[in-house]
């Protein structure tokens, strides 16, 4: 009887801990997210003009492997950019479909435009490299602008997105600039999944703290990592990221670790990607990255997966139990709703989707576990037809410390 009483008290304390944690994080995000610059709300006349240069203001590097369905839309959107001159380098990374041919078609169509488009065709992957870092490295070798933008072959850009981003980066004297992507959604399930993933992400990454040199927070995204070319070369370029599965995040860590100035900005609708396709779409996306974000430490990934499940289940059990337990469970969900509301400029999702927190967390937990199991079973990460050995990935993974 005494043991049961202790368990009841521990259960009550844990749920109150969750409630206080979510409310604290939610209100911190409410204050912090409001401080992030939003390119759709900034008066362009308050930003400095771009400097006069003979060549391009910005080199955009677009690696693509078997992305024939999206690559032309990406390149067309870049070529429609206004307010600056671009050098676009499209890298066909060993594609077996018509990705390379479609790049060439766009290059021929826009040969006389105000921007330049160069296509590189890669047919081999050297030992000791992942595909995407290698493709980007080959592009950087021929880049000529003082700023580099690393993006993906399924991203679309609004006409002024790059001009405003570069002008804001210059105004803030940034070395590294991340423009938050707008995720294109088609269903309520996709919206709930996005809101949950971003709410959980705020526990380890406070976007408003990325610019703070005294904070540990760092950021990078594969769809929009913009960096000064000279600073990037001082970091070691992609040689330092040869076997990085999450090279975008690791680049953000390297900038912060080298005392560079990183800046994150919002810009709803400026840079768009259809990343989550269906409520279970994120599971496939996590196959490559799920274990990588834990630096290939399977035990840590499994523990995190069970921790996620506890966050999903325990507040519901508390609510069903009634009394002060129910209060704690309801306050935990209130904190989750506050966090989603704080992220509204980032996601555009209503805080009411907090009611779907439990099932979406369960799916995320499954995605992490699936990534762990598949990576261990295969002995590495199988991505775009290439198996990268787990031993090599672990040995060369940058430790985010």
Residue at token pair 């966090």: 339
Residue with tokens 């940034």: 174
Q: What is the DSSP letter of 400?
A: -
pLDDT given for residue 3 in this prediction: 60
pLDDT tens figures, 335-364? 999 999 999 998 889 999 999 999 999 999
Sign of CA dihedral 259, 265, 269, 274: positive
**Does residue 384 come out as left (phi exceeding 0), alpha (psi in the -120 to 50 range) or beta?**
left
| Whole-angstrom distance, CA of residue 338 vs CA of residue 334 | 6
**pLDDT at residue 284, rounded to an integer:** 84
DSSP 131: H
What pLDDT digit, counting tens, does each position of 128-187 carry? 899 999 999 999 999 999 999 999 999 999 999 999 999 999 999 999 999 999 999 889
Enter the tokens of residue 385.
Answer: 């037809």
DSSP-derived 3-state class of residue 94: coil
CA 92, 183, 42, 226 dihedral sign is: negative
> Quick one: pLDDT at residue 289?
87
φ, ψ (nearest 5 deg) of residue 177: -135, 130
Which residues are 149's β-sheet partners? 60, 226
Residue 367 token pair? 């995605």
- What pLDDT, on the 0 to 100 scale, is given for residue 1? 46
Q: Which two tokens stand for residue 151?
A: 């993006």
- Single pTM value for the model: 0.93
Task: Using the Cα atoms of residue 381, residue 383, residue 387 and residue 391 in order, give the sign of their dihedral.
Answer: negative
CA distance 272 to 111: 25
Q: Please give the Cα distance from 184 to 272 (Å, whole number).
A: 6
Tokens standing for residue 23: 């409310």
Give the start-end residues of each E strand in 271-360: 271-273
Write down the architecture of domain 44-181+221-273 according to CATH: Alpha-Beta Complex (3.90)
Intervals of CATH 3.90.550.10 along the chain: 44-181+221-273
Q: What is the pLDDT of residue 238?
A: 94
- Looking at every residue in the chain, the average pLDDT score rounds to 92
With a cut of 70, which residues of the chain have pLDDT below it? Answer: 1-4
Bridge partners, 178 (sequence order): 225, 264
Amino acid 382: pLDDT: 87
């Amino acid at each position: 009887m005494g043991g049961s009483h202790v368990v009841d008290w521990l259960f009550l304390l844990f749920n109150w801990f969750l409630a206080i944690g979510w409310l604290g994080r939610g209100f911190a995000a409410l204050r912090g997210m409001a401080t992030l610059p939003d390119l759709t709300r900034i008066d362009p006349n308050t930003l400095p003009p771009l400097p006069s240069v003979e060549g391009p203001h910005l080199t955009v590097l677009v690696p693509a492997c078997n992305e024939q369905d999206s690559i032309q839309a990406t390149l067309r959107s870049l070529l429609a950019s206004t307010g600056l001159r671009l050098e676009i380098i499209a890298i066909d990374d060993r594609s077996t479909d018509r990705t390379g041919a479609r790049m060439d078609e766009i290059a021929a169509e826009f040969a006389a435009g105000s921007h330049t488009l160069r296509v590189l065709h890669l047919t081999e992957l050297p030992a000791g490299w992942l595909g995407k870092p290698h493709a980007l490295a080959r592009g950087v070798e021929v880049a000529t602008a003082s700023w580099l933008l690393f993006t993906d072959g399924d991203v679309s850009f609004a006409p002024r997105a790059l001009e405003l981003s570069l002008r804001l980066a210059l105004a803030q004297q940034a070395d590294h600039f991340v423009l938050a992507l707008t995720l294109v959604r088609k269903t309520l399930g996709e919206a709930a999944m996005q809101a949950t993933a971003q709410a959980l992400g705020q526990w380890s990454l406070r976007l408003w703290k990325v610019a703070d040199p005294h904070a540990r927070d760092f950021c990078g995204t594969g769809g929009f990592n913009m960096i000064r070319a000279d600073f990037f070369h001082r970091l070691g370029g992609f040689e330092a990221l040869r076997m990085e599965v999450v090279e975008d995040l690791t680049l953000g860590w390297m900038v912060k670790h080298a005392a560079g100035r990183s800046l994150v900005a919002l810009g709803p609708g400026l840079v768009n990607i259809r990343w989550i396709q269906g409520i279970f779409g994120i599971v496939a996306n996590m196959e490559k990255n799920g274990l990588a974000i834990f630096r290939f430490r399977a035990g840590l990934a499994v523990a995190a997966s069970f921790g996620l499940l506890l966050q999903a289940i325990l507040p519901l059990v508390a609510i069903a139990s009634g009394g002060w337990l129910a209060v704690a469970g309801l306050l935990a969900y209130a904190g989750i709703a506050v966090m989603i509301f704080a992220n509204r400029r980032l996601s555009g999702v209503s805080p009411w989707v907090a009611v779907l927190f439990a099932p979406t967390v369960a799916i995320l937990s499954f995605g992490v576990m699936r990534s762990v199991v598949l990576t261990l079973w295969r002995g590495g990460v199988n991505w775009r037809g290439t198996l990268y050995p787990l031993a090599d990935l672990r040995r060369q993974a940058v430790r985010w410390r």
